[in-house]
Structure 1
């Protein structure tokens, strides 16, 4: 039997008016015709006058017509009109923003017809719309919250700059704070736009062959000042060359975000390990740190938009980096896994198909 999860698994009744109903109509009309013949014979034998012989068949067929009309009307109302009115009412509620609507099916699942399937599809659609509305509300709330902080910083320090008696050192400090807040706001808006384009596939990955080992080395060098500032130890194990076919600019976002997080969450004097290997047609890149780590709940939500597990570092990011990483890897037929333990650091493992390998579109799993 076909159902909402597997609509092609069986046969769904294609008519709300089964052949048995029309068989009843036919049988009834045939019976009524036979009774009509009997009435004609009866009135002839009883030699009633012409008026009565005329009125009896008319009255008889009038009664038959009324009964059949009422029966047909009842069937149409029960089988078609009432379910459609309920569906129309539910549609109106959804149009007015009520996504808690649920329309029950008319039959049990083993007796579904096309209207039952349509109702279940409607319920699924409403559920998805409700989820989208919730996500949109959360997104607007999160964006507003994230923008509020840097805007408040800019406003406060701008007011301080207007003060008459401030030193050049204070003026420089306030200006640097304003610049930092503006950069954070710019980064937030840029990441929102990138993520929106990626999720709506307005950015089409331009895949080309290139050496990911070279790219990893270049990205690592960009964080050289950050390593030195926090006195971090870098342990890199990267192959001489590893060719992949992907969008180089998009994957640069992946490595930069993973390395940035590793630096951000590793305490001074800690260690960051970057390892890249090739095996069985796949390129594997591992970024590990000895930072604060995450609990099980944080690991479950780490790729959610605006999720920030460690609030002490919340001013250093906007919770969109790993969401971008996840989406880029999905578009690149890649996969990412997280292994972490609180107080012992985190490990991110990225898997990508090597150049020439079969691209399965399921995150590098064949």
Structure 2
């Protein structure tokens, strides 16, 4: 037997009992009344009164039972079924499922709203997961295809030494890109899952920034890029110098990548309002306003001119590192005029340790 019918039968049993008890009470009341007033009710009057009272109580009871059941169907049973249906769809992978708005008018409104929020979050996570897999697959496939193609070319026995060296360099470069991609994915995953805990140690940010810049000396000399440096000495910050070095290397690497021959790269470090502010500027191709809004997202590379020069993880990794150091990273850019990345970190005393 279905649950609704069981509930109706239970209601009938309950209100039959109520009607019976009420009728017995009235009969007892009439008996007391006869003894008190000395009036004798006939058996026929008593029977008639008892029956009519029982039927009246039964009718009223059933009416209220019906009204209460309808109320429960509207405010409890129907919303519960709607919520169960939505949860069942979610557990089977349909993250587009939502509890209907009509449920919000019942006692389950808050639960329904929370479930819809959960479904929306799950849908976003699923979209990110799908995009992540798609992007990773694409980024891995590209260098693998290059390695495969040039590997086949190297197998040609008639290949001269000059071409052989050239193809070997291409394979090495693609292998390095693939290794960098995998490393960045692992680093970003560990940072997002809080598996990496940065050390809290005061270090000389001025020296670290100079050291990072000098590692690109061969590049700016080879491409005749003008370097403008304004790094204030003895500025300290609290954090993990090794992790933050990934940020400086990424920002400087991007600046040199997108700056044309004979261009200019500027590096600043100043202390403003007890904050260490690093600014890396270039005179490169710049970015559109829409690109700057998404530039710190994983695998986002903006227009096609950026795609062949990176895997779209460097800035996402940089932002996550800056975030866990209680800092901020921002970008200002204009197409064909260059970009400027600004990193703000808390300033610390020279010998502070945590």
Asked if these proteins are the same fold (TM beyond 0.5), I'd say: yes
TM, length-normalised to structure 2 = 0.84
1:96 Cα deviation from its structure 2 partner: 1.6
1:51 Cα deviation from its structure 2 partner: 6.2
Count residues in correspondence.
325
Matched-pair contact (CA < 8 Å) for 2:79–2:106:
no
Q: 1:326 aligns with which of 319, 323, 327?
A: 319
Q: Which residue of 2 aligns with 1:159?
A: 152
**Coordinate RMSD, CA, aligned:** 2.8
Whether 1:174 aligns to 2:170 is no
Q: Which residue of 2 aligns with 1:132?
A: 125
Matched-pair contact (CA < 8 Å) for 1:40–1:53:
no
In structure 2, relative to structure 1, the CA distance for the partners of 1:85 and 1:38 (3 Å cut) is: same
Q: Which residue of 2 aligns with 1:14?
A: none
Q: 1:104 aligns with which of 100, 103, 106?
A: 100
Q: Which residue of 2 aligns with 1:72?
A: 68
1:152 Cα deviation from its structure 2 partner: 0.3
Whether 1:48 aligns to 2:44 is yes
Q: Which residue of 2 aligns with 1:90?
A: 86
Matched-pair contact (CA < 8 Å) for 2:228–2:265:
yes
Q: Which residue of 2 aligns with 1:12?
A: none
Whether 1:220 aligns to 2:213 is yes
Matched-pair contact (CA < 8 Å) for 1:336–1:348:
yes
TM, length-normalised to structure 1 = 0.81
Structure 2 counterparts to residues 188-199 of structure 1, below 5 A: 188-199=181-192
Q: Which residue of 2 aligns with 1:141?
A: 134
SS in 2 for 1:304: coil
**Structure 1 range deviating more: 168-177 or 254-263:** 168-177
Q: 2:225 aligns with which of 229, 232, 246?
A: 232
Q: Which residue of 2 aligns with 1:26?
A: none
Q: Which residue of 1 aligns with 2:252?
A: 259
Matched-pair contact (CA < 8 Å) for 1:294–1:340:
yes
Q: Which residue of 2 aligns with 1:37?
A: 26
User: In 1, distance between residues paired with 2:56 and 2:24?
Assistant: 9
Deviations 1:210-261 (A, max 9, x none): 0000000110111111111211111111122111111111111110000000
**Which is higher, the Rg of structure 1 or of structure 2?**
2
Whether 1:349 aligns to 2:342 is yes
